[in-house]
Amino acid sequence: MGSLFSTFTKIVCMVLMLLYCYSLFRNLSLDYGDGKRRLAKFLYQILLFLHFLCHGVLFFHTKDFFYLIMYGAELAFLVLYPFLWRKIYPTFSETLLYNQCLLLALGWIMLERLNTDKAMKQFAISVAASLVALIIPVLIDKIWDFQKGRIAFAVLGIFLLSLVLILGRVSFGAKMSLSFFGFSFQASEFVKISFVFSIAGFLSEEQNQRGIYKAAIVAMLHGIVLVLCKDLGSALILFMAFLFMLYVASSQFLYLALGFGLSALAGFVSYHLFSHVRTRVFAFLDPWKDIAGKGYQITQSLFAIGTGGFLGLGLFQGLPNKIPIVENDFIFSALSEEMGGIVAICLILICLSCFMQMMMMGMDMESLFYKLVCIGLSVIYIMQVLLTIGGAIKFIPSTGVTLPFVSYGGSSMISSCILFAIFQSLFVIQGKEDAMEEEEEEDEQQAPKRKGRRGIYE
């Protein structure tokens, strides 16, 4: 009976995810209006129903009231968070917000399935980070000219990474986190944001070769410290963000070609310098040679994805816990095994739609500084998605990067909420400017009429 219920639910969830993706991309093709709002409302309804069904399966299989309590708490968040956005801000990107909520919900569901303690911690951090994100549009609107703080952002990023180099804790061959008073965090997650603001400031303030040199020096210093920390995944993400920001600022294709050449050379050098890189490359090239050792993690990931197939085995029907650190780097594999390859593909499409919205927002920005900020943060987001999912499916060597909103990790959760809130801030500000322009146009149209009426009485 339990297996039958799980099978029925996974098919319904698959259909819901397909409907969500169709409606999502249909929504992206529409101009802002009633049709767009109706589709956004439909996305929200699918999100709530999907969340309900998955928790029904979790409770049905365990009879544990913990899942009902978590469902109630998560449902309250999913209802109140969009409500607060609507109350505080007259305009914001509903589709981007609902995508964020869906990714959060999928992450909570999979973590509850894998590790209940981590699920509670992740939910608590999600709520706190989301509340902080609510005030970011106000801060950006009040300050706005972050371009002047480019040097401060550069110094802050290099300082935090240097702290990790000196005091950081080694994890899987790299120094990635700092620990204070029992709490640990990954500084590189926050440096990604300060790095983008710094590079955007240098490239937009001095639109000449001198500005490019300054931006390159800042990027190089960040990269050197990250390489010394052996955090090569973060180094790659920052480098790609810098490369595309430089291309947009200069319109020189040569920079892109040179950048890809340098990244290939850096990969070759890293392979010969760092043993943990050689281990990951070995696991990528032929994990079956040492299936019980170096290739164990990636082979278990591939077994999970292959076993789940397109439809999945259903929640609690698979063995995702056999994958080491599945909650962090390989949660995509766990989701593929139990919720199915189709749901996993839909997850990729949702992440892609977030990237598309971010890029479109960047292209619409008149300010070069905020255009570059949008491009840089968009590249950082999609690179995290690519590296996490690519590592799980053996498309690229594993880099230890987490999937935003879905994987377990407090630092990743907070930085992802801030990143999405920055885009919401720009959407809010753009909406205000559009409303002001419409009011000015209406005033200009009504001015001749008022003048004509005065002429009659004069």
For 46-90, write each residue's pLDDT tens digit.
Answer: 999 999 999 999 998 888 899 999 999 999 999 999 999 999 988
pLDDT in tens, 425-435: 988 887 666 66
Mean pLDDT of 105-124: 94
pLDDT of residue 1: 53
pLDDT of residue 435: 61
pLDDT of residue 275: 79
Encoded tokens for 235: 């180094």
Query: Mean pLDDT in the chain?
Result: 87
CA pseudo-torsion sign 376, 382, 383, 388? positive
pLDDT of residue 453: 42
Count how many residues are written for the chain: 458
Residue 349 reports pLDDT greater than 60: yes
**Residue written as token pair 């490369």:** 243
Q: Place 365 in a pLDDT band, splitting at 50, 70 and 90.
A: confident
Alpha carbon distance 388, 381 (integer Å)? 11
The percentage of the chain sitting over the pLDDT mark of 90, rounded to a whole number, equals: 49
Residue 144 reports pLDDT greater than 80: no
pLDDT of residue 456: 32
Encoded tokens for 23: 């409606």
Which runs of consecutive H residues, i.e. helices, occur in 367-409? Answer: 368-392
Alpha carbon distance 196, 82 (integer Å)? 27
pLDDT in tens, 160-186: 999 988 887 777 667 777 877 667 788
Q: Place 33 in a pLDDT band, splitting at 50, 70 and 90.
A: low
180, β-bridge pairs: 183
Alpha carbon distance 75, 69 (integer Å)? 10
Q: What is the pTM of this model?
A: 0.91
